[in-house]
């Protein structure tokens, strides 16, 4: 990080995704296929983040220096928080802003600054819904209430890892990180009680070392608690501990996306998904549901994220799971019929399709 960037810290300064910077007129350009309804903001401190997640470009002990950290430096330019708040208010007067998301990192100042930054945005544009994408370790129940009071209506939490073991290995003690699986769940459940059904979400990443079965069980569990799951795909970040780890094969990602959609929207019963002894999906029955139709709709493969005030997906995190020029892992727009043909090939549905019930 440059000396200038080191002194431009939160709460007075904030990083903003390139898509959002373009949307607000703070940077020139256009983002293909995105109407960028969500303005994603990220706290900035000289140390990046005090946590140590092995896949993250902000991690404390990442082998690359912050100076090399092109992901954050290039794609998340820094602006004064008040200017960003003003631009959000301006945009809201012209049309409407779908949502603002303020992401915390793990830092002693992060809670205090989240409250401050949320208030600034909320004061400038009181009708714009705000998500707080929190680092659970900075919070407790009382603090969740203060964040709500400041203007946030949704709490997002990076659980990222689908199982306790993978969490330990990528975010917790296994990588000298501060994160604790049980605390993440305790914060999610406290937020669920306070903010309401579907007003809390976990970010979940495919490809950190978890099995399909762990992901599927997580989706069922979260649905039961009315906590949303938003899916990301692991994409190795240069300069991180996991930089040489391969991504999940595309057919696996597609099957997980399809299973998640069927669980969340089509009432898929748990026994409809069968796994081999490695925990990989080997069979997917969907009684009474035409899986081909669901696939052709393209919807299971679209990016999911927090809604706008009218209930459409607002946050579609363009390039959250892939880089420009790479194949789409999730589509931040309705896939075209050509896109659906590609998806069908990738999915290789016949290999797992059930033959008992009509599908
Ligand atoms: S807490 Fe978040 S920002 Fe910090 S290292 Fe982990 S994933 Fe990265
Ligand atoms: S889905 Fe988007 S808006 Fe919601 S918490 Fe995650 S990054 Fe923020």
Q: According to the model, what pLDDT value does residue 321 have?
A: 66
Q: According to the model, what pLDDT value does residue 73 have?
A: 59
- Which of 62-66, 178-182, 234-238 has the weakest average pLDDT? 62-66
Residue 316: pLDDT above 80? Answer: no
Report the nearest atom of ligand 2 relative to the CA of 230.
1
Mean pLDDT of 62-82: 72
Instruction: Please tell me the residue having the least CA distance from ligand 2 atom 8.
Output: 101
Report the nearest atom of ligand 1 relative to the CA of 59.
5
* Phi, psi at 281, each rounded to 5°: -65, 125
pLDDT in tens, 206-245: 999 999 999 999 999 999 999 999 999 999 988 899 999 9
Q: Which ligand is nearest to the CA of 177?
A: 1
> At 222, is the secondary structure helix, strand, or coil?
helix
Q: Which run of H or of E encompasses 248? A: none
Q: Which run of H or of E encompasses 183? A: helix 181-195
Mean pLDDT of 139-157: 98
For residue 230 and ligand 2, the question of a CB distance below 6 A is answered with yes
Residues with CB under 6 A from ligand 1: 49, 51, 53, 56, 58-59, 105-106, 135, 158
Mean pLDDT of 85-99: 95
Q: According to the model, what pLDDT value does residue 74 have?
A: 62
Bridge partners (DSSP) of residue 134 are 157
Instruction: Please tell me the residue having the least CA distance from ligand 1 atom 6.
Output: 53
Residue 290: pLDDT above 50? Answer: yes
For residue 315 and ligand 2, the question of a CB distance below 6 A is answered with yes
The rounded Å distance from CA 184 to ligand 1 centre is: 13
Averaged pLDDT score across all residues of the chain: 91
Nearest by Cα to 203 from 36, 14, 18, 40: 40
Tell me the CA end-to-end span of the chain in Å, nearest whole number. 53
Q: According to the model, what pLDDT value does residue 356 have?
A: 43
Residue 45: pLDDT above 70? Answer: yes
Q: Are 67 and 6 in contact (CB under 8 A)?
A: no
The rounded Å distance from CA 356 to ligand 1 centre is: 44
Q: According to the model, what pLDDT value does residue 357 have?
A: 46
Tell me the domains of the chain and their CATH numbers: 3-250 (3.20.20.70)
Bridge partners (DSSP) of residue 157 are 134, 202
Report the C-alpha gap between 73 and 76 in whole angstroms.
6
User: pTM of the predicted model, to two decimals?
Assistant: 0.94
Q: Which ligand is nearest to the CA of 304?
A: 2
Nearest by Cα to 188 from 161, 217, 159: 159
* Phi, psi at 246, each rounded to 5°: -75, 155
Mean pLDDT of 88-99: 94
């Amino acid at each position: 990080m440059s000396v200038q960037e080191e002194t431009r810290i939160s709460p007075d300064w904030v990083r903003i995704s390139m898509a959002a910077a373009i949307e607000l007129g703070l940077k020139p350009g256009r983002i293909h296929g995105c109407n960028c309804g969500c303005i994603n903001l990220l706290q900035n401190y000289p140390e990046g983040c005090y946590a140590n997640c092995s896949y993250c470009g902000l991690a404390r002990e990442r082998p690359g220096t912050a100076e090399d950290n092109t992901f954050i430096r290039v794609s998340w330019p820094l602006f004064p928080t008040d200017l960003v708040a003003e631009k959000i208010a301006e945009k809201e007067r012209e049309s409407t802003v779908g949502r603002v998301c303020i992401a915390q990192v793990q830092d002693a100042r992060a809670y205090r600054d989240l409250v401050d930054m949320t208030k600034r945005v909320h004061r400038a544009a009181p009708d714009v819904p705000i998500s707080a994408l929190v680092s659970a370790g900075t919070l407790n129940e009382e603090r969740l209430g203060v964040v709500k009071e400041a203007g946030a209506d949704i709490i997002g939490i990076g659980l990222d890892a689908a199982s306790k073991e993978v969490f330990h290995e990528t975010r917790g003690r296994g990588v000298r990180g501060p994160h604790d699986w049980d605390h993440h769940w305790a914060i999610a459940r406290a937020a669920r009680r306070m903010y309401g059904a579907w007003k809390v979400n976990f970010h979940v990443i495919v490809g950190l070392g978890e099995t399909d079965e762990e992901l599927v069980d997580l989706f069922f569990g979260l649905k039961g608690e009315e906590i949303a799951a938003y899916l990301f795909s692991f994409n190795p970040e240069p300069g991180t501990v996991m930089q040489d780890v391969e991504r999940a094969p595309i057919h696996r990602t597609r099957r997980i996306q399809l299973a998640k959609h069927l669980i969340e929207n089509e009432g898929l019963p748990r026994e409809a998904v069968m796994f081999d002894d490695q925990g990989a999906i080997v069979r997917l029955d969907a009684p009474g549901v035409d899986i081909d139709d669901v696939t052709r709709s393209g919807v299971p493969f679209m990016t999911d994220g927090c809604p706008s005030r009218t209930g459409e997906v607002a946050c579609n995190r363009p390039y959250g799971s892939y880089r420009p020029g790479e194949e789409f892992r999730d589509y931040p727009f309705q896939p075209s019929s050509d896109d659906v043909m590609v998806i069908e090939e990738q999915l290789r549905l016949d290999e797992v399709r059930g033959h008992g019930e009509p599908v």
